Amino acid sequence: MAEVETDDTSWIFELETALVEECDFGRLRNICKGRPVPDHLRAEVWQICLGVQGKDVLSSFDGLYDMEEQPQLREDCSSVVDKLGNEEEDKVSIVSDLESIVTFYCKSKGQKYSSDNGWLDILQPLLAVKMSRSELYNCFYTLINKYIPRELNKNGKAFHLFRLLLQYHDPELSSYLDTRRITPDTYLRPWFSSLFARTCDLRVCLTMWDVLLQHADTFLVFFLALVLLVNAKDTILEMKDQSKQAVIENIISFPQALNAEDIEDFCSLAEHFCAKTPQSFKKDYHTVLFGGNALGKAAEADTCGTELCLFVSVEELLQTNQHTLALTEDSVRFFVVDCRPAEQYNSGHLSTAFHLDANLMLQNPDEFNTAVQALLGTQRTAIATGSAAGGQHLCFMGSGREEEDQYVLMVVAHMLQRNHSFISLASDGFIALHRLLQDDLQGSLADHAAKSCIVCNPDSVNSTSDAENGEDFSPIKSLSTELFGKLSIAVKSKSAEVKEKLSSYIKNDQQGAESMYYYYVATGEDGSIDSSGDEHKEIVSLETWLKKPDVVYSCACKELKSNNYTYPSTLLLTTTHLYILRDIPQKKGMAFIQARRALGSIVKITSKKKRPELITFRYGTHEDDGFHITDIDMFIIPTASEATKRIKQQIIKVLDALQS
């Protein structure tokens, strides 16, 4: 917030002097201190903040208005100018300026104009600042490239990041919106594409941009949006009886309630949330969201957009916990939870880490629940006593290897389901930590034993990794979106009831042609992830996939489609999913991933009395009036009895883990 001074206007004179002396951004920011600037100085201040003073890029425009979308652009420019209320003799000139700026931008960036991309919304506040056409273009170009996230489409990375930030600070609100299927793109796109210009009063927008440009933090817009949602949480929850679209429209309108006098406090709250958030996400997402076309597309192969929760680099984890004296009240302090198996933990760990064996979640749910309560109690005690291990922010650490870290993800999902805020994962787990501390392992890790450490000695008895050749991916992040789907799960059935209903799973019913057995399904936004579309099919090596450490069972089968065609396939059962791998006749040993089904999405399994090898899986969600079927798979399985038995056993384990 702005500092209190005896003369509230003395800084303005200092700013005027600095501008005459052609000051740099650092000096300007020290003078303004995040305050709104006077109208007559705004044009100069913004150009310094954006680093575009003295440039004239628009002079290279060829003056050709020949884009396919030119008529639409010209019409939209005229509509904007009509709303501005300028004198008639000025309108033609302003329309021409707007059309020239957008046309040149499209041609220089190789982009297409559309009426809803927010560009004309951004130009309106710039017009109000009274700049020359060249200055207008420079500011417009830099605002879009520095502050507008790339690819604001339905599945854009920016929207996934915002969901992670909302989940980090308010998992209850995040879960509620997930349950209503109100995804961030539905309300954020008008805000992000125009930097709030589309939904804010002009005076509010100018003041907000004053502060935003002085901070020069491209991610501050995410926290401005976060403040709007978190502050309106009660309002959103009270709209439970309204339609989904009505809720979305209400959320979009939230910025309209802001006054120019509110903006300094509004931005201070956003800074507070930013300070209370691990900063690793900025490094992970900056290139993807703001890195320009070439860099951004190269980063598409990265795992940004698939994480279960925020990831924290081990560098940030160590730096934060090693400098506790320098931390402010708003700073992030971590309580590290080491979720590796006991034998790995005992062979080296952070001295401040609390041990919670993730395997307990499936092996001994009661003991796991006791351990979680002990964890939370220890955390409270550590915070109260000012211990170096104390922190509000729970950071879970796995080994960095797929076979153990699946269970770490299950633990994280368990915590998120119970609306615990400040939940994160250590990127690449203990392997990354070990690599960072390799020059002083004995001094940095407690109880480090090189002979049994899985990093120092991969062949040790504690190391069960069976690394695959030829695959390049980040194991934790690539699994996270497939683990449970959406985490807004309402547990409505008890484990005992589930087990009772499953006790005779897949037995033929003597009373009818088809037998049906039901069990409770965890209801998420999407019951399953089906990649049956040809353009999305992934080709994999059967041999490689059959050797994956998380594979519980596999069998040959034939997938039966509604047209009675059959396709030789392999059913692959992992700890959390059922995969359908369809053989590729032209490529022996290779297969399409025809579908990946979360075990919790199977609501019915049936077998034919006269043909027991014909098995049908039905997928869906649990509704108040019963099961809602969303998809069906049919297979001819020679080993049907064994296959369904193994699938049943794994489903019980997953349900027990979810309901514990």
Q: Which of 135, 96, 90, 139 is nearest to 119 (CA)?
A: 139
Q: Which of 97-101, 312-316, 624-628 has the lowest mean pLDDT?
A: 624-628
At 612 the three-state DSSP class reads coil
Q: Which of 289, 244, 247 is nearest to 152 (CA)?
A: 289
Joined tokens for residue 437: 């501390």
Q: What is the pLDDT of residue 338?
A: 95
The DSSP string of 348-387 is -B-TTPEE--TTHHHH-HHHHHHHHHHHHHHHHHHHHTT-
Cα separation of 339 and 593, whole Å? Answer: 31
Cα separation of 409 and 211, whole Å? Answer: 38
Q: What is the pLDDT of residue 213?
A: 96
Q: CA distances (Å), 29 to each of 8, 18, 176, 308, in order?
A: 16, 11, 40, 37
Q: What is the pLDDT of residue 328?
A: 60
More confident residue, 624 or 557: 557
Q: Which of 126-140, 229-243, 395-409 has the lowest mean pLDDT?
A: 395-409
More confident residue, 329 or 81: 81
pLDDT average, residue stretch 313-317:
94
Q: Which of 99-108, 130-139, 363-372, 504-513 has the lowest mean pLDDT?
A: 504-513
Residues with Cβ within 8 Å of residue 510, at least 6 apart in sequence: 609
Q: Each residue of 427-482: pLDDT tens digit?
A: 999 999 999 999 888 888 999 999 899 899 886 645 543 333 232 323 333 333 33
In degrees, rounded to 5, the angle at the alpha carbon of residue 303 between the alpha carbons of residues 301 and 304 is 105
Cα separation of 36 and 49, whole Å? Answer: 13
- pLDDT band per the 50, 70, 90 thresholds, residue 329: low
Q: What is the pLDDT of residue 652?
A: 82
Query: For all residues of the chain together, what is the average pLDDT?
Result: 82
- pLDDT band per the 50, 70, 90 thresholds, residue 622: low
Res 103 pLDDT > 60: yes
- pLDDT band per the 50, 70, 90 thresholds, residue 291: confident
pLDDT average, residue stretch 526-540:
48
Q: What is the pLDDT of residue 463?
A: 53
- pLDDT band per the 50, 70, 90 thresholds, residue 7: low
More confident residue, 14 or 389: 14
Res 140 pLDDT > 80: yes
Q: What is the pLDDT of residue 403?
A: 66
Res 411 pLDDT > 70: yes
Instruction: Map out the domains of the chain with their CATH numbers.
Output: 8-147 (1.10.8), 157-294 (1.10.472.80), 310-446 (3.40.250.10), 539-659 (2.30.29.30)
Q: Which of 414, 407, 343 is nearest to 372 (CA)?
A: 414
- pLDDT band per the 50, 70, 90 thresholds, residue 304: low
Res 571 pLDDT > 50: yes
Give percent of the chain above pLDDT 70: 82
Joined tokens for residue 612: 């027991």
Residues with Cβ within 8 Å of residue 477, at least 6 apart in sequence: 303, 306, 307, 311
Q: Which of 122-131, 294-303, 325-334 has the lowest mean pLDDT?
A: 294-303
Work out whether strand 626-636 and strand 551-560 pair parallel, antiparallel, or are unpaired.
Answer: antiparallel
More confident residue, 284 or 8: 284
Joined tokens for residue 42: 């705004």
Q: What is the pLDDT of residue 498?
A: 34
Torsion of CA 224, 229, 235, 239, to 10 degrees: 140
- pLDDT band per the 50, 70, 90 thresholds, residue 70: very high
Q: What is the pLDDT of residue 258?
A: 94
- pLDDT band per the 50, 70, 90 thresholds, residue 28: very high
pLDDT average, residue stretch 386-394:
87
Res 499 pLDDT > 60: no
DSSP one-letter code for 148: S
More confident residue, 469 or 204: 204
More confident residue, 7 or 73: 73
Q: Each residue of 333-385: pLDDT tens digit?
A: 999 999 998 899 999 999 889 999 988 888 788 888 899 999 999 999 988 88
Res 254 pLDDT > 70: yes
Q: What is the pLDDT of residue 229?
A: 97
Res 270 pLDDT > 60: yes
- pLDDT band per the 50, 70, 90 thresholds, residue 509: very low
Q: How far is CA 526 from the centre of its chain?
A: 16
The count of other CB atoms within 10 Å of the CB of residue 111 is 14
The count of other CB atoms within 10 Å of the CB of residue 31 is 20
Work out whether strand 354-355 and strand 334-338 pair parallel, antiparallel, or are unpaired.
Answer: parallel
pLDDT average, residue stretch 227-255:
95
DSSP one-letter code for 24: -
Question: Are the C-beta atoms of 266 and 277 separated by less than 8 Å?
Answer: no
Q: What is the pLDDT of residue 302?
A: 52
What is the spatial order of strands in the sheet that 539-541 belongs to? Answer: 514-518, 602-608, 614-623, 626-636, 551-560, 566-574, 577-583, 590-598, 539-541
Cα separation of 186 and 153, whole Å? Answer: 10
Cα separation of 136 and 475, whole Å? Answer: 46
Joined tokens for residue 383: 């915070």
Q: Which of 345-349, 408-412, 436-440, 560-564 has the lowest mean pLDDT?
A: 560-564
Q: Each residue of 391-405: pLDDT tens digit?
A: 899 999 999 987 678
Res 274 pLDDT > 90: yes
Q: What is the pLDDT of residue 319?
A: 87
Q: What is the pLDDT of residue 25?
A: 92
The count of other CB atoms within 10 Å of the CB of residue 75 is 12
